Amino acid sequence: MKSSGNRRNDLVYRMDKALGDGLERVIRAHHRRRLGRIGWSDAFDPSAGIWCAGAPPPRKGNSIEVLIDGAEAFPAIVEALRAACSSVYFAGWHVTPDFVVSSSDSEVVAASKLFQELGEEVDIRILLWAGAPLPPPFSPSRRGVRSICDELGRGRRTRVAVDSKERPLHCHHEKIIVIDGELAFVGGIDMTNLAGDRMDSNRHPARGAIGWHDATTRLRGPIVADVARHFEMRWGEVTGEWVPPTQEPAVAGNVEVQVVRTVPEKIYGSMPRGDFRILEAYVRALRAARHFIYLENQFLWSSEIVKILADKLHDPPSEDFRLLMLLPAKPSTGMDDTLGQLAVLEAADGGAGRMLACTLY
């Protein structure tokens, strides 16, 4: 027999669950209506297959290397930038000019110095998010970003532009570098210590700054042209300057790769419908999974993604299906959202033991 306290707790739990489930359904319905109005319904219900429909298509003949954490990524980026002969396209969320990208007994190289030491013949274009249009505590501020742009462009022909074309409370978050139209870096690591020091290693030692676990990819081959053309599109939209399209590089490996992106609708004139193929790629991959899904992410927020995972747990595609998730112990924001979504997955698992969520300290 349950006590009155237990009955009250059960009632609160059921009410909270009903409210949460209802809210998630409303959010998913809103997202479907929004994308349906602009012709992107297929992002939620794509046809069979791994590759996304539309352009750019998957490209064969590439090499791809995953560089995990800043201590592995930045040396490769610095080496590639110093070898640049003709052009550098750089897009990021934020840059701290004095962020140390390379250090040794003989020299310490900050981000601003790295760009300034490149040859005068190298066409350098840096594109940053313009910053938060709202006052503190939102950051970086637009005034601060303008000051950073002045410093990055000082003393040479470096062109720096800021992109303020965004939806309310959104930001430009991509981090891409294209060098000589032959080599590209695409990933999640900015040259900044804002909100955390990106120069962190796989060991993540205790130190005076907040650490940062992330990755970037080093790409060679025809896929580099697709990365470059995305930058060229954004640069043209922001500055009004036409940039000659990068020519497709020669084959550099045997890996097939496709560039996918998220571009909100009505942001750029050349893309009035936007592009939502990152969502499409996730949906395709997760729905196709038969035996195992490993998910490592900063947050677990997306109701659409969690719904797919929950369906897999509730009705597993194979007897040995397992879901393993690695999430941060102390996310910078959104802890309640992540915990709520984990509860949805735990309920879908129903004690079957197919799901494991863990973290690293």
Q: How far apart are CA 165 and CA 267, in angstroms?
A: 6
- Taking the CB of residue 208, how many other CB atoms lie within 10 A of it? 5
Cβ partners under 8 Å of residue 343, min gap 6? none
pLDDT at res. 248: 97
Element (H, E) at 155: none
- For the cut 70, the answer to whether the pLDDT of residue 32 exceeds it is yes
**Residue 86: band (very low, low, confident or very high) from pLDDT cuts 50, 70, 90:** very high
Cβ partners under 8 Å of residue 180, min gap 6? 84, 85, 86, 87
Query: DSSP for 57-123?
Result: PPEEEEEEEEEESHHHHHHHHHHHHHT-SSEEEEEES---TT-EEEE-SS-EEEHHHHHHTS-TTSE
- For the cut 70, the answer to whether the pLDDT of residue 316 exceeds it is yes
User: What pTM was computed for the model?
Assistant: 0.93
pLDDT at res. 332: 73
**Residue 241: band (very low, low, confident or very high) from pLDDT cuts 50, 70, 90:** very high
pLDDT at res. 4: 64
pLDDT at res. 22: 84
Asked if 358 and 326 count as a contact pair (C-beta separation under 8 A), the reply is: yes
3-state secondary structure (DSSP) of residue 195: coil
Domain 59-259 sits in CATH at: 3.30.870.10
**Residue 192: band (very low, low, confident or very high) from pLDDT cuts 50, 70, 90:** very high
What are the extents of the domains in the chain? 13-43+281-358, 59-259
Number of H helices, E strands in the chain: 8, 15
**Residue 3: band (very low, low, confident or very high) from pLDDT cuts 50, 70, 90:** low
The overall average pLDDT reported for the chain is 92
Mean predicted confidence (pLDDT) in 109-137: 92
For residue 57 the two structure tokens come to 């298509």
In this structure, the dihedral spanned by the alpha carbons of residues 360, 288, 185 and 271, taken in order and rounded to 10 degrees, is -120
3-state secondary structure (DSSP) of residue 177: strand
